[in-house]
Amino acid sequence: MNKLLKAAAGIVLASALSVSAIAADKLKVGFIYIGPPGDHGWTYQHDQGRQAIDAHFGDKVETVFVENVPEGPDAERTITRLARQGAGLIFTTSFGYMDPTMNVAAKFPDVKFEHATGYKRSDNVSTYGARFYEGRYVIGQIAAQMSKSGVAGYIGSFPIPEVVRGINSFLLGAQTVNPDFKLKVVWVNSWFDPGREADAAKVLISQGADIITQHTDSTAAVQVAEEQGVSAFGQASDMAAFAPNALLTSIIDNWADYYIARTQAVLDGSWVSTDTFGGMDANMVEMGPFINMPAAVKARAEATAEAIKTGKLHPFAGPVYKQDGSIAAAAGTTVDMGTLLGMDWYVQGVDDQL
């Protein structure tokens, strides 16, 4: 019995050694994706970041990814497998991977974990997210200048703070051009159902919206806009190929710089657990090419994006009024970060109720 235990311990030790030996000569970076890299949206952009690591570090780093991992027990199993295979750094790229990431991280103290859009951290788990609402402000401003009807349609997935923040930011941007700008919101209760997204776009257009924007993952809505001759914005990645005449610009998630920086930190041994909420200043949120719009509108959009980037302009700078007329931030102040992260109210002017 004693012998058996010793033998078992020896095997465990040996395998642990071999894992760390691999990790020492070549850093392995793992990625867990919620969808396929070909979704032309959220996962696609994360995969672009992974490829950027490959291009930047060459032979020093090896990347691996697992796609279509459902949030839940499967995620924990997959993350564990990556850690066992000797990954030194693992990016888990969806909100629902939060608890699985924490559980696996506790078992592998030497592996670094990076969880996207979550709020739970530990010594070897960092979180990161991006201030997409900055992009929403820019497109809102463009929308108000391009719209003839003065009504935009917004297709939402789920009424969570992330999405509500985008809606508010869009309308605040639009109101800088047209204080009476109207925003209609339709929820499809799904991140991904092309048919429903298309239905919602058609409904919004028939109700007078001549600008369509969406916080869902497919390209269905911009295609409907193209077909019906109204304008649209791309979400997560550049969607110009799907609506060459309708698309005005896209909000692009750019994870490449962050991924390279964090990989470098692990290589240097300088990695520490942090919480990153990067925006245009960190190039985490970028605007696609401004197309199908007059030069003046383009110039103003570029100026707004620049002002946000340099910190001169904050989308939620006061005065910001809630839908019920109460004040959320007085002139000279901005809505604070805690309120932004837990946003569950609309600003004045949204034609919907939460």
Partner 1 sequence: MSAYEAIILTIITASTPLLLAAIGELVVERSGVLNLGIEGMMVMGAVTGFAASYVTGSPWLGVLAAVLAGVATSMLFGLLTQTLMTNQVATGLAITLLGLGLSGLIGSGFVGLPGVKLTSVSITGLTDLPYVGRLVFDQDPLVYLSVILTLGVAYILKHTRVGLIIRAVGQNHHSAHALGYRVVTVRYACIAFGGATSGLAGAYLSLVYTPQWIENMTAGRGWIALALVVFSTWLPARLAAGAYLFGGVWILGLYAQGMGIGIPAQLLSSLPYVATILALVIISTNRRLSVINTPASLGQGFVPDR
Residues within the interface to partner 1 (CB under 8 A): 35-36, 38-40, 44, 68, 153, 156, 159, 184-190, 192-200, 202-207, 209, 218-220, 223, 227, 241-242, 351-353
Shortest Å, Cβ 291 to partner 1:
16
CB of 49 to partner 1, least distance (A): 17
Q: Which residues of 327-343 are buried (b: 16+ CB within 10 A; e: fewer)?
A: ebbeeeebbeeebbeeb
Instruction: Tell me the closest approach of the beta carbon of residue 121 to partner 1, in angstroms.
Output: 31
Cα(159)–Cα(335) distance, rounded to whole angstroms?
Answer: 19
The string of DSSP codes covering 5-23 is HHHHHHHHHHHHHHHHHHH
Give min distance, CB of 313 to partner 1, in A.
29
Would you say 20 or 149 has its CB closer to partner 1? 149
CA-based nearest residue to 109, from 146, 132, 81, 83: 83
- Looking at the Cβ atoms of 40 and 309, the one nearer to partner 1 is 40
Q: Tell me, letter by letter, the H, E, C secondary structure of 164-211.
A: HHHHHHHHHHHHCCCCCCEEEEEECCCCCCHHHHHHHHHHHHHCCCCE
Minimal distance in Å, beta carbon 292 to partner 1?
A: 17
Of 56 and 202, which CB lies nearer to partner 1 in the complex structure? Answer: 202
Give the DSSP H/E element, type plus range, for residue 126.
strand 125-130
Nearer to partner 1, 190 or 334 (CB): 190
Q: Which amino acid is at 8?
A: A
Q: What are phi and psi of 68, to 5 degrees?
A: 55, 45
Q: Closest CB to partner 1 among 18 and 206?
A: 206
The Cα 124–Cα 333 span in angstroms is 35
**Closest approach of partner 1 to the CB of residue 243, in Å:** 9
Measured from the CB atom, the residue of 127 and 168 that comes closer to partner 1 is 168
Paired with 32 in beta bridges are 66, 92
Residue number with CB closer to partner 1 (124 or 219): 219
Least distance CB 3 / partner 1 (angstroms):
46
Q: Which residues are within 8 A (CB) of 352 and not within 5 positions of it... i.e. 6 or more apart? A: 183, 184, 185, 346
